[in-house]
Amino acid sequence: MSFCALFLLSLIFYFFFSFFFLFIVVFLLFSFLFCVLCFFCFFFLSFYLFFFFDLLVFVVCFCTVCRFSFFVLVLYILLSFFLFFFSFFS
């Protein structure tokens, strides 16, 4: 391959991985902020009944931040909405 082709290929990979890295950083930042916000909302809305559930949600959220797991994130969001509606309507 010529030098220009290698240069263009390396440039494409550089931009692809830089955008991918930026997406991961933004995703982690927003998931962390979302989980902290939900934790404090649940903590103040339902202190006595859902204290252990709040801790569970917070732990699941930290697992999401550490492991980049989409499945854990979806589980966390479903659990958050379930706890929010259950504490709101009870």
The upper half-sphere exposure of residue 11, i.e. CA atoms within 13 Å in the direction of its Cβ, equals: 6
- Cα distance between residue 76 and residue 64, in whole Å: 8
Per-residue pLDDT tens digits of the chain, which is 90 residues long: 566 666 666 666 666 666 666 666 667 667 666 666 666 665 565 555 555 555 556 655 555 455 555 555 556 666 666 665 665 565
Q: What is the pTM of this model?
A: 0.35
CA angle at 38 for the pair 35 and 39, rounded to the nearest 5°: 80
